[in-house]
Amino acid sequence: MSETFVIIGAGQAGCQAAATLRSEHFTGDIVMIGDEAQPPYQRPPLSKKYLMGELAAPRLELRPRKFYDDQNVTLKLATRALSIDTRAHRITLSDGTSQPYTKVLLATGTRARPLAIPGADLTGIFYLRTLADVDQLRPQVAPGKRVVLLGGGFIGLEVAAVAAKLGCAVTVVEMAPRLMGRAVSDVVSKFYLDEHRKAGVTVYLDTASVAIEGANGAATGVKLSTGDTVPADIVLVGIGALPNDELAKAAGIACGNGIMVDEFGCTSDPDVFAAGDCADHPNPFAKGRFRLESVQNAIDQAKYAAKAMMGNKIAYHEVPWFWSDQYDLKLQMAGLAIGYDMTVQRGSTDARSFSVFYLENGRVIAVETVNAIPEYMIGRKLIAAKTHVDPEKLADPGVPIKTLAEG
């Protein structure tokens, strides 16, 4: 009998898994279940070009719609998977039907961490995870509007940059002592703080939002731990994301910080796999288990998981990489800054083009670059090759970066 592989989650990982299954000559049925009405689309542009109005919705789609017909991939959109019966190999769906499977891939992604303070249910409070979220937010982001961003991570700062460009009065409130504190070095964090302030953005650090104030059911301001209240027409919440692992937990599948998988993408159930933002996986760059929220991880891990579903088990050891666009600045990162004993800065922040390398016992394990694409590209190679470098040469912009990768 023909096999049926079901993919739960119609995002970057789910789409890639379907494409990989077909490119690896899987001839059985593929069914993709997604709770949004749209076919798989890119999420990174949502907080950047799409919010800015520079990119139309159809251009977000990861694959032309014809792809799914040509590759015989059945899309069940605007449909939620309610439960998985691992014994019967059957998935109960929100449309009242059930879907049998031979093997299933969970590519369920994440959801926005909800705001849990008084006033969080007022209108005028937005989250940014889906196309529908941005479609609601975009008409509100107009010149003169007072926009308060709760959270100084990538999403909050990308929206802050767009809102500032559009002529809004923008405020960022961050609980930590610096921006993007969990992701970048002090140097990069300080640089972006200065850039946002130069653009007219007000930034509060070491500050919590304690309540949303409102009138007539709508948000009018954010009360801070300092005692101040920041007036607001729009409040965007960007305080992190939670893995969508409830489906797996209810099915008895082991979960930690997400759905736990081995190096091949297999869960505690041999016929259930997981990939992407929801997957808690062994990562050699993290020196242990880790859950990555990135396009790179979603794409690459989905490839490995899809192959493993077909019995071709290859350990997932790809170098993690990330990026963020804010104003005319491209922040690119590779590797994970875990266990380093030295940092090396190459280039000057004044030039608005520089990089920070992380070393462990002389070996490059991570890099952050701002408007420095060669350093980023070579940095990725150095990390993958576990290359030892001379810190003095690495810090000297007069030494061509490519010579360090050549040995």
pLDDT in tens, 356-368: 999 999 999 999 9
Cβ pair 326, 284 in contact under 8 A:
no
Instruction: Classify 137 as helix, strand or coil.
Output: helix
Count CA atoms within 13 Å of residue 373 on its CB side.
2
pLDDT at 1: 60
Per-residue confidence at 405, pLDDT binned at 50, 70, 90? Answer: confident
Q: Which of 6, 13, 40 is nearest to 299 (CA)?
A: 13
d(CA 172, CA 179): 10
Per-residue confidence at 2, pLDDT binned at 50, 70, 90? Answer: confident
Q: Is the pLDDT confidence value at 407 over 70?
A: no
Cβ pair 322, 297 in contact under 8 A:
no
Residue 328's DSSP bridge partners are: none
pLDDT at 274: 98
pLDDT at 375: 97
The three-point CA angle 38-41-44 to 5° equals 135
Q: Is the pLDDT confidence value at 250 over 90?
A: yes
Cβ pair 273, 105 in contact under 8 A:
yes
Mean pLDDT across the stretch 13-22?
A: 98
Cβ pair 275, 305 in contact under 8 A:
yes
CATH class of the 114-237 domain in this structure: alpha beta
Cα(first)–Cα(last) distance of the chain, in Å? Answer: 54
Do the first three CATH levels of 114-237 and 328-405 match, i.e. the same topology?
no
Mean pLDDT across the stretch 18-28?
A: 97
Q: Any idea where the domains of the chain sit in the sequence?
A: 4-111+241-309, 114-237, 328-405
Q: Which residues contact 124 (CB under 8 A, 6 or more apart)?
A: 140, 214, 218, 219, 232, 233, 234, 235
- For the stretch 23-26, contacts whose Cβ atoms lie closer than 8 Å and that sit 24 or more positions apart, written own/partner, are 24/306, 24/307, 24/310, 24/312, 26/306, 26/310
CATH numeric code, 4-111+241-309: 3.50.50.60
**Running DSSP on this structure, what letter comes out for residue 184?**
S
Q: What percentage of the chain has pLDDT greater than the value 70?
A: 100
The CA–CA distances, whole Å, from 134 to 52, 143, 178 equal 10, 17, 26
Q: Is the pLDDT confidence value at 406 over 80?
A: no
pLDDT at 173: 98
Q: Which residues contact 131 (CB under 8 A, 6 or more apart)?
A: 36, 38, 41, 46, 50, 57, 60
328-405 CATH, one of 3.30.70.330, 3.30.390.30, 1.10.1660.10, 3.40.50.10860? 3.30.390.30
pLDDT in tens, 227-245: 999 999 999 999 999 999 9
**Running DSSP on this structure, what letter comes out for residue 157?**
H
- Mean pLDDT estimate for the chain: 97
Q: Is the pLDDT confidence value at 70 over 80?
A: yes
Residue 112's DSSP bridge partners are: 241
